[in-house]
Structure 1
């Protein structure tokens, strides 16, 4: 565990930002520039490979709303520091819709460059404290899928699936090849939580959530949230269709429809 003032790979540690899985993330600085430093605490091969993959894939994407990489080592990477927390920190409806629009554009850009994120959720969307100027940033490409790759075996991704169950697309649960529509489904789940405070499916067990994603129709959100228009339910139903080919063509198409309904 690094402490404030410690030096690591040319960076000076300012504070710990949090821990998830086998990684700890710190705010650090080098000269006058701030960065986020992710450090793997153990030598588990799968954790190190995910870190390597995150750096390589994100380094090949250059978009204002995708996290920018700085440099890396065998057990760490340094990236853009975003100072406003996750998308869950947003309170104004207009800001939430703006963030969704920006992330949809980032995802469509990634898809055009052969990358499917596969882990879209509110905690993987960071926002600047000056949101009107900095906007939202998509992070964590560690489980991203590259076009042309075979899908990762289900046995190789239990931690990711378990951690992201409220948002995970059905095809990730059945071992099918991810596609841009996979991110659209997860963005739809994320949108429901950002806009209403609750994920589309809720269950007391992991198996209950898996069953819901695989077999249950998306909820009619307008029935439980008075201010949500009825038309939102049909838009959501298409974005969360069980079969990827039945969803919207792009993430931006989906978000533009819900933005039009709510403004």
Structure 2
């Protein structure tokens, strides 16, 4: 710890440093500037890529993770998969590796704020803005699922909101933190007995009970996030964590119209199905959920209602349409 080093010692090694102690240090070619955020197993710095002269975000994982060989191997493998995800709504991963006993991940630095900060500042969003953000997050999740990556921790804090490109697209959403450590932790014995990965307000029932998960657990979590975007609060409000876990496991999804009577009934129906207790009763993909949400809200259906996962056919009078996952971003 910082206070335990004798006076006159040099700067702490990255493996022994506390968050914030590394400000100004260089690690693996990145000059760490200041802490952007921190969690139980990682801290994220704003940093300068000294090789290319660009600003990046560098995630440093807890030192004990680097000492677990099984985790290290999974980290390298899953980092390569994450770096291969070329999608306009996924924060690009530039680099990953180990330096001075610390595993690190370098990714694009997104200027803006996260959805958590947006909701805290503005409260409930309009249905139109909710759909705009949700369709971008859903598109990113489905792209990850196509590569057999399940996020497992979809929450407002993992959705970054940057300035959009034009009045029709006033915000650009990026999904971040694909849980490279989360899946690995659960498989390497680095989580305690009974502990699961995920944030309590948005965690799917199968994660709580320890059953196998697939992309449908992200459908559930996205449903919880959409509920909060529309109402200003998560679907289940309980006094303690155990009661909250019980609610996710056993209580029926709340009716969003009890908190916002102005919403059409179709919005509530879409959310109830997305947050069904059994994965098989949910939508098969995140874009399928958002298509139903958009239709229920009375928004222009566009390409989503026609079937986001359908095969793409060339237009007879123009170039081929974008692939299915990109249509919500590049088409109205």
TM tier, smaller? 0.7 to 0.9
How far did 1:14 drift? Answer: 3.0
Q: TM-score, normalised by structure 1?
A: 0.86
Partner of 1:65: 89
Structure 1 match to 2:43: 24
The structure with more radius of gyration: 2
SS class of match (2:290): helix
1:139 aligns with 2:173: no
The Cα shift of 1:227 comes to 2.3
Change (3 A) 1:205 1:107: same
CA contact under 8 A between 2:153 and 2:198: conserved in structure 1?
Answer: no
Normalising by structure 2, we get a TM-score of 0.69
How many aligned residue pairs are there? 260
Deviations 1:91-139 (A, max 9, x none): 5533332121011111111112222211111111112144747711111
Q: Cα distance, 1:256 vs. partner?
A: 1.8
Conserved? CA contact 2:265–2:296, under 8 Å: no
Paired residue for 2:109? 81
| Distance in 2 (alpha carbons) for counterparts of 1:155 and 1:145 | 10
Q: 2:86, 2:164 → 1: CA distance?
A: 21
Aligned pair partner of 2:213 in 153, 178, 197:
178
The whole-number CA distance in structure 2 between the counterparts of 1:38 and 1:166 is 24
Higher mean displacement: 123-132 or 174-183: 123-132
Match among 199, 203, 206 for residue 238 of structure 2: 203
The superposition leaves residues 33-60 of structure 1 with CA deviations (integer Å, 9 ceiling, x where unpaired) of 1110111343245796586566234123
Gaps of 5+ in 2: 1-19, 300-332
Please tell me whether the aligned partners of residues 116 and 145 of structure 1 are also in contact (alpha carbons under 8 angstroms): no
Bigger CA drift: 41-50 or 107-116?
41-50
Unaligned runs of 5+ in 1: none
Equivalent position SS for 1:191: helix
Shift of 1:145: 8.7
Counterpart for residue 79 of structure 2: 55
Q: Give the Cα–Cα distance (whole angstroms) in 2 for the partners of residues 241 and 213 of structure 1.
A: 10
Instruction: Write the distance in 1 (CA, Å) between the matches of 2:193 and 2:288.
Output: 31
Task: Judge conservation of contact 2:75–2:181 (CA < 8 Å) in 1.
Answer: no
Hey, what does 2:54 align to over in structure 1? 33
